[in-house]
A and B are shown apart, each in its own frame.
Chain A
Amino acid sequence: MKTRYTFGGDEHIYIEMDEEMSLDAFFKSLSMSNAVREAKIDGVTEICPANASFQVKFNPDVVHPDDLLEQVKALEAVAEKAEKRMNTRIIEIPVYYQDPWTHETLMRFRERHQDPSGTDLEYAARINGFDSVEDFITAHHSQPWFVSMVGFVAGLPFLYQLVEREKQLEVPKYLRPRTDTPKLTVGYGGCFSCIYSVRGAGGYQMFGITPMPIYDPEQEVTYLKDFMVLFRPGDIVKWRPIDRAEYDAICQQVEDGTFMPKMAEVEFDLDAFNKDMTGTNARLMEALNGA
């Protein structure tokens, strides 16, 4: 892992912990972004953590970019010593795979895809060496995921699967981004899954849809009354496959204000996870199932 520092114009410093994705890079990035926040450096206006990198926005009228860069670099040592452990939550997200809405959309943008002759799921299953779409879907939802970034558009989570590197699923993004994606599409790009919080442009492959809103500017959805965005970095997610009937039923419950996502408080310790992935995931699922 080698840290790279670079400027984004005259108002941003971009810090890349590693070129490749890993939970180690995520934890180091999160720790260092927290250290920068806690340092309360004059002129720093926003700190945005990402998967294996983070960005500091600043006002160059207040602090010279080179001076800020030196101050940020000095905090790398703090991040290296930080504990890779956090108190967080595990949330169950119902997913209707192969739904009619993402299917209609992916057909509409076929010429922007690597394989215009099939669907996104058929393509993803094939290039990841699965015999069937069903087996690929099982691999997608059988083990939990970790929210390693929130962003792109309002409240969209990027998720990284809690499995060994050789079991990670990987797909490219669309050749050219789509101009439309249904709201609450469950997508995939690189090694990341995501949930499109709102309708709009997107470059990730589309696998299914969740009936559960994750962003509500009106703050009317039961579990979004306190804040309009559901996810924060470090949340753990378990997908649960559902059919059309259950999809419709949950949509109705959301509308009636009776739907509450299943979730539980958990602790996540990266060293413990790296030592025993199966055991750690089993304990996470136990906490969720007891909720």
Chain B
Amino acid sequence: MALNILNPGLSTSIQDLGRPGYFHLGIPIGGAMDRFAMRVANMLVGNAEDAAGLEAVFMGPEITFTEDTLIAITGAELPVMLDGVEQNTWTAIAVKKGQTLSFGFLQSGARIYIAVSGGIDTPEALGSRSTYPIGALGGVEGRNVAAGDVLPLGKSGPGKTGATVAPAHRRMPGNPAVLRMVKGLYWHRLTDASGEQFLNDEWKVAPEADRMGYRFRGGKPLEFVDREQPFGAGSDPSNIVDGCYSYGSIQVPGGTEPIVLHRDAVSGGGYFTLGAIISADMDYIGQLQPHTPVKFKAVSMEDALAARKERHQLLDQIRGSLA
């Protein structure tokens, strides 16, 4: 049983829930940017939630199947077609041997997740099939999928055709998007007025937005508290002695364009960070298209933990409804 990739789309990669444990060597956790959508796609076809599927950016791939199977598409909205006949998203779809899966134009969101019964069964690298092209790990020999690739599948589970997720449970960011953050790390480097300005400004997703990080433009340049730069940091006020970066941390090189580090984050570096996006909102970033307006909202740790719990509860509800 296998998937044949006829056309990979713009950028399609094999992802699961990542490879924790190697960030101290500069190898990031990786895995689906929108883990909520990846988990739900797997649930719909009866897979373990950490099974490997496909993450496709802005454009869907074209795929044929060597056997009858079950698939589900979640995340960004775009028309899903089987042999040209439109299908429902966030729903388990029965596929016949030899049928072709294709997609129309993107309507909302940025990344679609394709789960196939049994999960993609390419070799693991450091415990995960997630593609990390910079380090040539996982995926198809360390790279994204390409036309002509044949992706092996694991053994099918118990999925049911037609299983679906209620529209209210399809978790996607708003437009404008609000990304909640906890102030911290090097927030104290900013003047009070500049910190406030950062939170009040409307930012827009820049074209340089990928799995490593999302860049934002449009707000006012940041102002730093005057200081003599510490030894080893470098002379720009946005420089620090190179330290670890948190997933979701917001760095602002030169004080101009914020970059939020995502699943394929660099593990450290010499730019100051002013806090980090809360874990519950990390999925949303993977669904932001370039030019989407965004506001950063500072919340307390307790609010961050409550949001995390809310996301867990929603996943539990979906698990319950599909059981």
Chain A interface (Cβ < 8 Å from any Cβ of B): 6-12, 14, 16, 18-22, 45-55, 57, 60-61, 64-66, 149-156, 158, 160, 165, 168, 170-173, 175-177, 179, 189-192, 197-198, 200-201, 203, 215, 217-218, 229
Contacts and interface: CB of A to CB of B under 8 A. Distances in A.
A54 B267 CA distance: 11
A198 B134 contact: yes
Contacts of B24: 46-49, 150-151
Interface of B: 20-21, 23-27, 125, 134-137, 142, 181-182, 184-185, 208, 212, 230-236, 239-249, 253-254, 266-271, 273, 275-279, 301, 304-305, 308, 312
Contacts of B249: 8-9
A6 B184 contact: yes
25 contacts: A6-B184, A8-B185, A9-B247, A9-B277, A9-B279, A11-B248, A14-B243, A46-B21, A50-B243, A55-B243, A57-B247, A60-B305, A150-B24, A152-B242, A154-B26, A168-B231, A170-B235, A172-B234, A173-B253, A192-B270, A198-B135, A201-B212, A203-B270, A203-B271, A217-B135
Contacts, number: 205
A152 B181 contact: no
A9 B135 contact: no
Given A171-B234, A190-B234, A46 B26 contact: no
A18 B241 CA distance: 9
Give chain A's interface secondary structure class: loop
Contacts of A160: 232
From A9, A21, A171, A217, name the one whose CB has the most chain B CB atoms within 10 angstroms: A9
A12 B247 contact: yes
A185 to B, nearest CB: 14
Contacts of B242: 50-51, 149, 152, 158, 189-190, 192
A183 to B, nearest CB: 11
A156 B23 CA distance: 12
Nearest to B269: A152
